[in-house]
Structure 1
Amino acid sequence: MSSLASKPVPASRWSQYYQLTKPRVVQLIVFCAVIGMALAVPGWPTTQQWRQMLAGSAGIWLVAAAAAAFNCLVEQHIDAKMKRTAWRATAKGELSRLQALVFSAVLCSLGMALLYFEVNALTMWLTLATFVGYAVVYTVLLKPLTPQNIVIGGASGAMPPVLGWAAVRAEVGYEAWLMCLIIFLWTPPHFWALALYRAQEYAKAGLPMLPVTHGNEYTRLQVLLYTWVLLAATLLPFLTGMSGVLYLVAALVLGLRFCQLAWRLWRQYSDELARSIFRFSIWHLSLLFAALLLDHYLKPYWT
């Protein structure tokens, strides 16, 4: 009786497929895309723009989920060797490679069709390029070959605000590229903080992550340097007139806190501190973009 009670209950088939989409990662992607959409509209969105934003969000979600599922397919054997990913249905063999491939293809096709017919062709092509950049260039080519994989591959992960802006305007302004730059510079310290306390797992999986190839101390220095460059980049929206004082205060508070944590990590390493920085980095980006949105709607009342 006790052995039956302790036997793990297998996840439902729908749950297994849903896990492949990396929901928490995709939520942050769509959130940043929505911020790009909102900032592309000078005032409150019109009814037509609300429809574009809704369709754009759904389309971007579908394609991002498809890229995540394809990533799980390609890294099936790598995921099985790492504690943080061994639970995925592809790593456990609960879903076959064909099932994951078909699932990814269906999601991608639906997302592309939705973006093309309900949003605009530019957004569809940019989103497709982002899919290829992450699923193929980063996952297949860069990740197993170079410790700079996350830096180069981060370009595709930084695209959501550009996609959101294009969904509303059918063109891309400098403001969208500023948001893209912020995410691009945010990605290395965010990911390397994770890689630091997961270095042994990456080494076991045979992946040339920076802590594996260049060591703990060098990676900590890179995290510190990137946080300062990131802080400088987050000031650009204010300096270019894109945002106001509310955003500036948020960028300084969040950025200086990130730099402080990175300084502590560089001076004296611990796995717990690396975990704290990884968790804080997610809050940093979320709150920074939320401040951009809030500033966008409050700024007219202050000027």
Structure 2
Amino acid sequence: MSRENAAAAGPGRATVGWRDYYELCKPNVVFLMLLTSVIGMFMAVPGMVPWRVLVFGNLGIGLCAAAAAAVNHLVDRRIDLIMARTHNRPIAQGRLKTANAAVFAAVLGVAGMAILLIEINALTAWLTLASLLGYAVVYTLYLKRATPQNIVIGGIAGAAPPLLGWTAVTGEIHGHALLLVLIIFVWTPPHFWALAIHRRDDYAKVDIPMLPVTHGIGYTKLHTLLYTLLLFVVTLLPFATGMSGMLYLLGAVCLGAGFIYWAIVLLRGNDPKAPMATFKYSIIYLMALFVVMLLDHYMLPATIIYEVSAYE
């Protein structure tokens, strides 16, 4: 039986494949988290990150993030089957047994923690564990079903990767690392609310109190714009604190202006495609912002040296 025919046979009757385990890890989400983790590492040092830290640090962080994603699939398997966006997930469709998925998540989590404890440092390991539990337990099990502010409060867990990358290199928590966390923390609500507006009926159907369900789409659009404006201000702080230079400032202003534009388009409500367009732009925005920050980080010392030489 082919994979397509097996899937069409119904829940519990499809054959399992490596792609099902891969999907369980939410790879797109994990890759975005690892990008911010890698940039957190490079921002922590003036030169090259030691290769062992770069490889084993991100491997451990990635495995723990994948474990948290697998737990999310486990906990949400019943509502996933009802929602259009998630109905074909492997556990919801019965392609993966819950016991197998639980073992898989446990193996990933234990392996990730072991790598961080042995190859990196205890601070990074325990912060990663706190992030894992924050997403898999506090957010998925409780906050998601308890309050329309779920994504605001729970967003701190998803904002941790740049801090984890920073501590993996330095072994200490620095104010600049917390500033990177703050950027992702403030970015998360407008990013997710745009998707929640698009999928409002899905969340209402499964009684998940996302903001568009409890307070309406207009209210959510307004708060998406307000958080986007706050994000614009927060992203200026790396320049204001001397962490980043003019290249980053230019990038932050241009990218932030684009995000504000889409938030305004979303608020006006004339374009039915605006929620998903805003959601997709928010992903590009975060990736581009951190890449520009990294480029600026390695250009800034050269600029300073040139200016000093010219002065002398």
TM normalised by structure 1 equals 0.95
Q: Does 1:26 align with 2:30?
A: yes
Matched with 1:131 is 132
Unaligned segments of structure 1, at least 5 residues? none
Go from structure 1 to structure 2 and tell me whether the alpha carbon gap of 1:6 and 1:108 turns closer, same or farther (over 3 Å shift).
Answer: closer
- Distance across 2 between alignment mates of 1:5 and 1:235: 49
Task: Write the mapping of 1:48-197 to structure 2, written as runs, cut at 5 A.
Answer: 49-197=50-198
Indicate conservation of the 8 Å contact 1:36/1:162, yes or no.
yes
C-alpha distance in structure 2 between counterparts of 1:76 and 1:231, whole Å: 36
2:273 aligned counterpart, secondary structure: helix
How far is the alpha carbon of 1:270 from its aligned partner? 3.6
Query: TM-score, normalising length from structure 2?
Result: 0.93
Cα distance change of structure 1 residues 98 and 122 upon mapping to structure 2, 3 Å threshold: same
| Residue matched to 2:284 | 283
Following superposition, the deviation at residue 190 of structure 1 comes to 0.3
What's the counterpart of residue 41 of structure 2?
37
**Conserved? CA contact 2:3–2:15, under 8 Å:** no
The CA deviation string for residues 198-245 of structure 1, in whole angstroms up to 9 with x for no partner, is: 000010111000000000100000000000000000000000000001
Conserved 8 A contact 2:248-2:292: yes
Instruction: State the distance in 2 between where 1:269 and 1:83 align.
Output: 24
**What are the Cα deviations for residues 82-137 of structure 1, in whole angstroms up to 9, with x where unaligned?**
11111110110111111111110000000000000000000000000000100000
> Residue 161 of structure 1 contacts residue 179 of structure 1 at CA under 8 Å; is this kept in 2?
yes
Q: Is the 8 A contact 1:37 1:167 kept in 2?
A: yes
**What's the counterpart of residue 19 of structure 2?**
15
Structure 1 runs (4+) deviating above 3 angstroms are 4-12
Distance (whole Å) between structure 2 residues aligned to residue 133 and residue 6 of structure 1 = 36
Q: Give the distance between the partners of 2:83 and 2:54, measured in 1 at CA.
A: 37
Give the superposition deviation at 1:7.
Answer: 3.6
Provide the rounded CA distance (Å) in 1 between the counterparts of 2:4 and 2:141: 38
What is residue 209 of structure 2 aligned with on the other side? 208
Relative distance call for 1:251 and 1:5 in structure 2 (3 A) is: closer
CA distance, structure 2, for counterparts of residue 251 and residue 161 of structure 1:
17
> Using the alignment, how far apart are the partners of 1:18 and 1:58 within structure 2?
15
* Distance of aligned partners of 1:275 and 1:249 in 2 relative to their CA distance in 1, 3 Å threshold: same
Identical aligned residues as a percent: 53
Alignment size in residue pairs = 297
Secondary structure of 2:95's aligned partner:
coil
Unmatched runs of 5 consecutive residues or more in structure 2: 8-13, 305-312
- Which amino acid counterpart does residue 118 of structure 1 have in structure 2? E
Shift of 1:11: 6.5
